[in-house]
Structure 1
Amino acid sequence: MALKLSNLSKLNYHCLFPRLYLPLKSLSSLVQNLNGELNIAANARNPDVTTIFQIIINSPSPESMIKCLDSSQIPLSNDLIDQVLKRVRFSHANPLKTLEFFDFVDKKKGFYHTQYSYDTMLYILGRSRKFEETWRILKEMRRKDPAFITPKTVMIVLGRIAKVCSVRQTVESFKMFKRLCTNFDVSCFNALLRTLSQEKSMSDARNVYHSLKHEFKPNLITFNILLSGWKSVEEAESFFKEMQDLKIKPDLVTYNCLIDVYCKNRQLEKAHKVFDEMHEQEIYPDFISYTSLIGGLGLIGQPDKARAVLKEMRELGCYPDAAAYNAAMRNFCIAKRLGDAFDLMDEMIQVGLEPNATSFNLFFRCFYWANDMINASSLYQRMKTVHGCLPNTQTCMFLIRLCRRNGDVGFGLELWEDMVLNGFGSLTLVSDVLFDMLCDDGRLDEAEKCLFQMVEKGQRPSSVSVKRVRVLMELTKRHESLYKLHERMSIFEHGRGK
């Protein structure tokens, strides 16, 4: 029997909750983050991965790292390297130390990095703006096997560049791939457009498309990228018309993009017309189509109709997934009907679907805005113990800020220990709030312990947090702790100084 979630204390919520309807792209991003955090936990169970990871982040020099690797006697296989790099990526560990390890392995006789390792290394370097090293790795890939540089590789590199550089610089970088890619075709062009739509804006993607489309032959994927994520109905309809003019036949993804933009703009009548056209074309809506519709109904204040869509989906043989239930629960949260939202979570469990971090975050957001520490902590315990669901960074930020607001240091430390033990969430983001709480409360022992825990995990504390803890150490004359802090932080300085 499913555990009844709606027995949390009933409250009257007088605060005004913000709109919680997110685009599908945001939902997929949250799922990606959770998957990454799950990867860390899975890799942590492999002792060899942990050992190599610790050697990378703790070695003060390349020579020391090589010596430790040799003495560990761990065979460096492709699978192990892939897992270590994945651990580095999701732990935000030192990029230049990781590159030293990557280069050391690459020079071993008879060893060849996998395409996955190259792409992951490029992501790690690009995220830290190490673009000189990025292009050096790309040239090595080209020399060893040109087939390694795929549209996915192009998108990884351009995605990191687009985060910190202008659209013009991103496009210039894209053109540099012409000398590196064996097939510099529309798939690479699509990678550029996808990058711009995600990291810049749909308007930037549109402008670049019109400036370069004559050099490439746009295809269905091109238009599906250009149709996704628009806030403007007019812009989306314009691309759809151009697509038809080019005799490119729309598919399910195309129609889902149109339904999404109509629903976001509360134009439900047009969305229903798209459903009708799909049936005429014998293209049948999927759970993404219905999830957009559920979200749109919530935006026009019809959460009960949205819930009825879940039943309609099942009757049509399109069984709702967790995202569809989350969209329906979100509508009730917007309407401040948390009892109905919890009933939907019960139903979700009864049909065999497990609530995920996104499901719980809908309620944590409400509890945060209502300043409801009691129900937030109760739901967190239920999330962990009953459902075995790992929180993500968004969960942690709702909870730690709520702790800060209520002065609940004990729960803040419990959350931190769970994060350290189970490898979920960003220690760096949570630590800023936690250290403020601990330092204000004069709990220097706990602050010192937490700071060293995150350093051991390879995550760098912010300079503001380090300064606060250091000042308190100086005031209390903790000379040994100050020396230890300087020694541990030098790990990160080594990578920066190279």
Structure 2
Amino acid sequence: MREADIYPNVITYNSLIAGASNRSLFSRCFDLFDEMTMLGIPPDVWSYNTLMHCFFKLKEPEEAKRVLREKIMPKLSPCSTTFNTMFNGLCKNGYTSDALKLFRSLKQNGFIPQLITYNILIDGLCKSGRLRAARRVLKELEESNLEPNASTYTTVMKYCFRAGKFEEGIEVFYEMKNKGYTYDAFSYCTVSSAFAKTGRLEEAHKCYELMIEKGIELDIVCYNILVNMYCIQGRWEEVYNLLNEIEQAGLKCDEYTHTTLIDGLCRAGNVDGALKHLRYMDTLGFDSNLVAYNCMVDRLCKAGYINKALRIFDTMDIRDSITYTSLVHNLCEERRFLKASQVLLVCLKQGMKVFRPTQRVVVKGLHSSGLYSEARKLQSKIRLAKILRS
């Protein structure tokens, strides 16, 4: 450009800064910004929008707020992207209260939010566990001239279900459905899974009938939920029909399909069938069958086959904190506190965590069994592990 006597302007630098930001080259962004101002090119609102985004990415929300307060508001005309960048950055940095307060203040001063603004706030509030506040913002959205989309409702549903508020999540689904809003396969899958988890299998099945009526193609996630429902009901012929249907649809069963089958077989008391399927799963070449093994260990323990569970545990190449917590908990249920403490010690040695209530049960169980020396040794190891993690 310089060789051709073409001089860069604010658009040139904004493009360079945005490109550097997209590649997380934040120090380069600041260098370009400084270079632009040194050349006498005044930054515009888009320059500062990107600068705020960089500060949020660097976990410096106070600096981003300072840019809005001192650079944009007094001298420039902020656009919707300015405020959406601020809301998104505040929420992702854990400042949802500040984002909501700013939103209220701006609305009082004539700011007209877009759908993306509401979705950013709803997502941020849900992620921070503030479901009631998220529902209030959703209600405001419904009362505005804007129309919530599938993403809006699905976000609220998903976090209601994660928080164990199944009825509230299902209520959001019906609200979405009754108002005629667009919903997708993920929405149906989310609510069907919630119905299944609360034992409302007939309603879960109706969701799938609705999906088929709407012409929505089932993917492997949908099929996995159906497989799980049929396993819970013990409808094994339909389970295997579904597996054939998956194959005919050109899909491939994933590790969760097989894990669901293993769990269902264990629940039905067919432990040998579950073990056989676990061995078959090992031949399929998945990156990890950890979820299936964890499920098998837990189900064997609960079915009273704790020694079989221990043998499978010993063969596992990969274990996580869930593996250890489940086994330790089940050993305590059988009052095998010494074995539980040995498993817990191995877990601590490998730098993994077992939930504190489970740790306390083991220590208390050792005391009640008169194994005071083992209890003291375990308590010492727990304290040491805690210090090393801090």
Change (3 A) 1:370 1:256: closer
Change (3 A) 1:219 1:293: same
Q: Distance in 1 between matches of 2:268 and 2:207?
A: 22
The aligned residue for residue 239 of structure 1 is 176
The Cα shift of 1:450 comes to 0.9
Tell me the secondary structure at the aligned position of residue 157 of structure 1.
Answer: coil
The aligned residue for residue 353 of structure 1 is 286
The structure 1 residue matched to 2:210, chosen from 274, 279, 284, is 274
Change (3 A) 1:259 1:371: closer
The structure 1 residue matched to 2:218, chosen from 267, 278, 285, is 285
Aligned residues: CA RMSD: 4.1
The aligned residue for residue 91 of structure 2 is 154
Q: Distance in 2 between matches of 1:202 and 1:175?
A: 13
Q: Deviations over 1:198-219 (max 9, x none)?
A: 7769887555522443356522
Q: Deviations over 1:310-363 (max 9, x none)?
A: 332122111121122222222222222222222332332222225544323333
Q: Tell whether the 8 Å contact from 1:142 to 1:148 is kept in structure 2 after alignment.
A: no
Change (3 A) 1:261 1:455: closer
Change (3 A) 1:324 1:116: farther
The aligned residue for residue 190 of structure 1 is 119
1:362 aligns with 2:295: yes
Q: Distance in 2 between matches of 1:327 and 1:183?
A: 47
State the AA in 2 paired with 1:451: I
1:254 aligns with 2:187: yes
Q: Tell whether the 8 Å contact from 2:61 to 2:90 is kept in structure 1 after alignment.
A: no
Change (3 A) 1:370 1:327: closer
Q: Tell whether the 8 Å contact from 2:363 to 2:379 is kept in structure 1 after alignment.
A: no
The share of aligned pairs that are identical, in percent, is: 14
The Cα shift of 1:220 comes to 2.9
Q: Tell whether the 8 Å contact from 1:287 to 1:320 is kept in structure 2 after alignment.
A: yes
Q: Distance in 2 between matches of 1:428 and 1:116?
A: 34
The aligned residue for residue 225 of structure 1 is 155
Q: TM-score, normalised by structure 2?
A: 0.63
Change (3 A) 1:451 1:236: closer
Residue ranges of structure 2 left out of the alignment (5+ in a row): 1-23, 26-53, 69-81
The Cα shift of 1:184 comes to 6.7
1:449 aligns with 2:380: yes
Q: Tell whether the 8 Å contact from 2:157 to 2:170 is kept in structure 1 after alignment.
A: no
The Cα shift of 1:306 comes to 1.8
Residue ranges of structure 1 left out of the alignment (5+ in a row): 1-77, 80-112, 119-136, 162-171, 460-498
The structure 2 residue matched to 1:306, chosen from 239, 259, 270, is 239
The structure 1 residue matched to 2:329, chosen from 392, 401, 405, is 401
The aligned residue for residue 348 of structure 2 is 420
Q: Tell whether the 8 Å contact from 1:196 to 1:202 is kept in structure 2 after alignment.
A: yes
Change (3 A) 1:329 1:454: same
Change (3 A) 1:227 1:450: closer
Q: Tell whether the 8 Å contact from 1:357 to 1:392 is kept in structure 2 after alignment.
A: no
Change (3 A) 1:274 1:173: same
Q: Deviations over 1:49-94 (max 9, x none)?
A: xxxxxxxxxxxxxxxxxxxxxxxxxxxxx99xxxxxxxxxxxxxxx
Change (3 A) 1:157 1:307: farther
Q: Per chain length, whose mean CA-contact separation is higher, i.e. which structure has more relative contact order (CA < 8 Å, sep 6+)?
A: 1
- Greater CA radius of gyration, 1 or 2? 2
The aligned residue for residue 379 of structure 1 is 312
Change (3 A) 1:354 1:338: farther
Q: Distance in 2 between matches of 1:223 and 1:427?
A: 33
